[in-house]
Amino acid sequence: DTGVSQDPRHKITKRGQNVTFRCDPISEHNRLYWYRQTLGQGPEFLTYFQNEAQLEKSRLLSDRFSAERPKGSFSTLEIQRTEQGDSAMYLCASSASVQAYFGPGTRLTVT
């Protein structure tokens, strides 16, 4: 068990570009979550998968955001036409029961 991993750890992109982040959960964790964390604030829920099914999406997740978990294992989060307001830490977490395990996050900077 190597924990939740995320790639890349840092991403700098220009406004208007598309970016994709990857999350590898702890193996056999059927639940996977994406959160966004801006400086000085707590994580905000974005979306949740149980196996490959996306069961819930926050209103924070605009049409420019899409997430997938094609085989119920790793997940990707894509942001299209990035805006400066998208600059944040994107956290992934996985769980098999009550406790969620967080990854190190991907820090996105949109210039």
Partner 1 sequence: AQTVTQSQPEMSVQEAETVTLSCTYDTSESNYYLFWYKQPPSRQMILVIRQEAYKQQNATENRFSVNFQKAAKSFSLKISDSQLGDTAMYFCAFMKPLNAGKSTFGDGTTLTVKP
Give the binding site for partner 1 (CB under 8 A): 4, 31, 33, 40-45, 48, 56, 91, 93-95, 97-105
Task: State in Å, rounded, how far the first CA of the chain is from the last one.
Answer: 36
CB 13, CB 79: distance < 8 Å: no
To partner 1, the closest distance from the beta carbon of 93 in angstroms equals 7
Question: Where are the alpha helices (H) located in 13-110, listed in sequence order?
Answer: none
To partner 1, the closest distance from the beta carbon of 45 in angstroms equals 6
Specify the residue, 19 or 46, whose C-beta has the smaller distance to partner 1: 46
Specify the residue, 9 or 81, whose C-beta has the smaller distance to partner 1: 9
CA–CA separation, 75 and 86 (whole Å): 19
Specify the residue, 76 or 102, whose C-beta has the smaller distance to partner 1: 102
